[in-house]
Chain A
Amino acid sequence: MPSDTPAVPVSDVRTTSPRERMRLLKDRLFGLAMGVGGISVIIAILLIFFYLFYTVLPLFEAATVRPAATVSVADDAATDLVALDEYTEIGFAADARGDWRFVDVADGRERLAGNLLGPDAGTTRVTALAAGSPAAGTLFAGTSDGRVVIARTRYSVSYPDDQRLVTPALGFPYGTEPHDVAGDGAAIRLLAGQADDDEATIAAVTADGRLLLLNITRQTSLLDDEVSFELGRAELDLDGEDVVHILMNPGQRRLFTVSTNGVLSFYDIANKASPVLVDRASLFDDDSRVTAAAMLSGGVSLVFGDSRGRLAQWFPVRDAHNTYTLAQVREFEPLPAGISHIAPEYFRKGFAAIDDAGNLGLYHATAARQLTVLPTGARTVTALAFAPRADGIIYSDASGEYHTLAVHNPHPEVSWRALWGKVWYENREGPEFIWQSSSASADFEPKFSLTPLAFGTFKAAFYSMLFAMPLAVLGAIYTAYFMSPPARSIVKPTIEVMAALPTVILGFLAGLWLAPLIERDLVGFFLCIPALPLAMVAAAFAWTRLPAAIRHRVPEGWEALLLVPVICATAWLCIELGQWLEVLFFGGSAPHWLHETWGITYDQRNSLVVGIAIGFAVIPTIFTISEDAVFSVPRSLTMGSLALGATPWQTAIKVVLLTASPGIFSALMIGMGRAVGETMIVLMATGNTPIMDLNIFQGFRALSANIAVEMPESEVHSTHYRVLFLAALVLFLVTFAVNTLAEIVRQRLRRKYASL
Chain B
Amino acid sequence: MDNADRRPDVRDWVASGQPWIWLTAGTVSMSLIMVVGLLALITLRGMGHFWPAGVVELSLRDGSLMLGEYADHETVTAARVRGLGIEVPAEREFVDRFLLKVGNRDVTGADFRWVNDIDIVATRYPTAAFVAEREEWGNFYGFVDGIREGETQLDEGVDLWAEIDARLARKQDLAARIAAIEDDAMDSVNYALERLRLRERRLELDGVPAGDEAHARIAAERAELDQRYQDLSAELAALHHDIERDVLLVHTVDGEARELPFAKLVRVFRPNGMSWLAKLGHYFDKAGEFVADDPREANTEGGVFPAIFGTVLMVLLMSVFVTPFGVIAAIYLREYAQQGTMTRIIRIAVNNLAGVPSVVYGVFGLGFFVYFLGGSIDRLFFPEALPAPTFGTPGLLWSSVTLALLTVPVVIVATEEGLSRIPRSIREGSLALGATKAETLWRTVLPMATPAMMTGLILAVARAAGEVAPLMMVGVVKLAPSLPLDGNFPFLHLDRKFMHLGFHIYDVGFQSPNVEAARPLVYATALLLVIIIVALNLAAITIRNRLREKYNAAET
Contact = CB atoms under 8 A, between A and B. Distances in A.
Interface in A10-64: 10-12, 23-24, 26-27, 29-31, 33-35, 37-39, 41-42, 44-48, 51-52, 55
Interface string B354-395: 011111111110111001000000000000000000000010
Interface string B310-337: 0000000000000011101111111111
Interface string B441-468: 1100000000000000000001001111
Contacts of B334: 2
B339 to A, nearest CB: 5
B33 A508 contact: no
B26 interface: yes
B241 interface: no
B333 A11 contact: no
A500 interface: yes
A634 interface: no
B121 interface: no
A743 interface: yes
A678 B32 contact: no
Interface extent on A, as a size class?
35 or more
Interface in A649-680: 649-650, 652-653, 670, 673-674, 676-680
B85 to A, nearest CB: 13
B77 A24 contact: no
Dominant SS among interface residues on chain A: helix
Contacts of A530: none
Nearest to A38: B332
A708 B360 contact: no
Contacts of B94: 579, 583
Contact of B352 (A2, A471, A498, A739): A739
B332 A474 contact: no
B414 interface: no
B17 interface: yes
B429 to A, nearest CB: 11
B233 interface: no
Nearest to A552: B4
Nearest to B518: A512
A477 B26 CA distance: 12
A623 B28 CA distance: 10
A185 interface: no
A24 B82 CA distance: 86
A493 B36 CA distance: 12
A500 B362 contact: no
B515 interface: yes
A741 to B, nearest CB: 10
Contacts of B30: 471, 475, 532, 567
Contacts of B2: 648
Contacts of A560: 25-26, 28-29, 32
B438 interface: yes
Given A30-B442, A511-B509, A736-B352, A9 B436 contact: yes
B354 to A, nearest CB: 8
Contact of A24 (B1, B346, B367, B436): B436
A514 to B, nearest CB: 10
A520 B94 CA distance: 12
A378 to B, nearest CB: 41
Interface stretch (A125-133, A294-302, A315-323, A537-545): A537-545
B306 interface: no
A44 B83 CA distance: 58
B522 interface: yes
B5 A548 contact: yes
A475 B31 contact: yes
A509 B362 CA distance: 24
A652 B23 CA distance: 13
B83 A559 contact: no
A10 B442 CA distance: 17
Contact of B529 (A23, A495, A502): A502
A287 to B, nearest CB: 54
Interface stretch (B7-15, B158-166, B246-254, B271-279): B7-15
B219 interface: no
B120 interface: no
Contact of B363 (A9, A541, A724): A724
Interface in A687-742: 704, 707-708, 711-712, 716, 724-725, 728, 731-732, 735-736, 739-740
Interface string A396-416: 000000000000000000000
Interface of A: 1-6, 9-12, 23-24, 26-27, 29-31, 33-35, 37-39, 41-42, 44-48, 51-52, 55, 470-472, 474-475, 477-479, 482-483, 491, 493-498, 500-505, 507-509, 511-513, 520, 532-533, 536-537, 539-541, 543-545, 548, 551-552, 556, 559-564, 567-568, 579-580, 582-583, 587-589, 592, 616, 619, 623, 647-650, 652-653, 670, 673-674, 676-680, 683-684, 704, 707-708, 711-712, 716, 724-725, 728, 731-732, 735-736, 739-740, 743-744
21 contacts: A1-B420, A26-B436, A27-B439, A44-B325, A482-B24, A494-B31, A502-B533, A505-B530, A507-B506, A508-B506, A540-B22, A544-B18, A552-B4, A567-B33, A652-B17, A677-B360, A704-B469, A732-B357, A739-B356, A740-B349, A743-B348
Given A563-B22, A588-B78, 14 more contacts: A12-B436, A474-B27, A475-B31, A478-B24, A478-B27, A502-B530, A508-B522, A704-B469, A731-B357, A731-B359, A731-B360, A735-B355, A736-B355, A743-B351
